[in-house]
């Protein structure tokens, strides 16, 4: 327990834990919408992935801005565009992994999606911490 308290005293560790919690919630949201689009509505799995990731990404921006990084900056449009850019890279990475695993390695699409999400976690955290929600350097 003392080790956890020690680790959480570091800002980057607290942010990473919060980022992961937001990510868990958004992953659930992503999966729910993916299942809705792909299984219930019969949308092709890559299109279903595009839609579900887009919905989860917007929710993620809101929670990460206000809770994870406690960002007070007023340039929300610029930050959202940066966030979208980070997530566009994530989306290409995610879809490339899902496509490769499903098409070439015949891995079940839901398992492929879990693998892709895990790979993208570190990209998203670091890019958003050091670029999207970067705190200004005080002079």
pLDDT digits (tens, 9 = 90+) for 101-121: 999 999 999 999 999 988 888
For the stretch 62-70, contacts whose Cβ atoms lie closer than 8 Å and that sit 24 or more positions apart, written own/partner, are: 63/22, 63/25, 63/26, 64/19, 64/22, 64/128, 64/133, 65/133, 67/18, 67/22, 68/15, 68/18, 68/19, 68/22, 69/15, 69/128, 69/129, 69/133
Over residues 57-76, mean pLDDT: 93
pLDDT of residue 2: 67
pLDDT at 9 over 80: no
> Is the alpha carbon torsion for 13, 14, 20, 23 positive or negative?
negative
Query: What pTM was estimated for this model as a whole?
Result: 0.72
The CA–CA distances, whole Å, from 75 to 88, 126, 130 equal 20, 20, 16
**Cα atoms in the 13 Å half-sphere on the side-chain side of 13:** 8
pLDDT at 138 over 80: no
Angle value at C-alpha 88, between 19 and 131, nearest 5 degrees: 55
Q: What was the pLDDT predicted at 11? A: 87
Residue in the block written with tokens 């015949």: 106
Distance (Å) of CA 10 to CA 1, 22, 31, 33:
15, 18, 31, 35
pLDDT for 54: 86
pLDDT band at 15 (very low <50, low <70, confident <90, very high): very high
Rounded mean pLDDT, 20-40: 95
Query: Which pLDDT belongs to residue 139?
Result: 56
* Predicted pLDDT of residue 136: 75
């Amino acid at each position: 327990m003392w080790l956890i308290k020690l680790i959480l005293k570091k800002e980057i560790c607290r942010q990473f834990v919060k980022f992961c919690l937001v990510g868990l919630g958004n992953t659930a949201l992503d999966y729910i919408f993916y299942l809705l689009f792909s299984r219930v509505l019969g949308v092709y799995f890559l299109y279903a992935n595009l839609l579900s990731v887009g919905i989860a990404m917007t929710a993620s921006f809101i929670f990460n801005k206000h809770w994870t990084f406690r960002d007070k900056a007023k340039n929300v449009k610029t930050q959202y565009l940066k966030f979208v850019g980070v997530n566009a890279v994530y989306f290409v990475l995610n879809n490339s992994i899902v496509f490769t695993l499903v098409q070439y390695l015949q891995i079940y699409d839901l398992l492929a999606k879990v693998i892709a999400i895990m790979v993208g976690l570190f990209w998203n955290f670091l890019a958003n911490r050091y670029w999207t929600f970067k705190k200004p350097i005080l002079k």
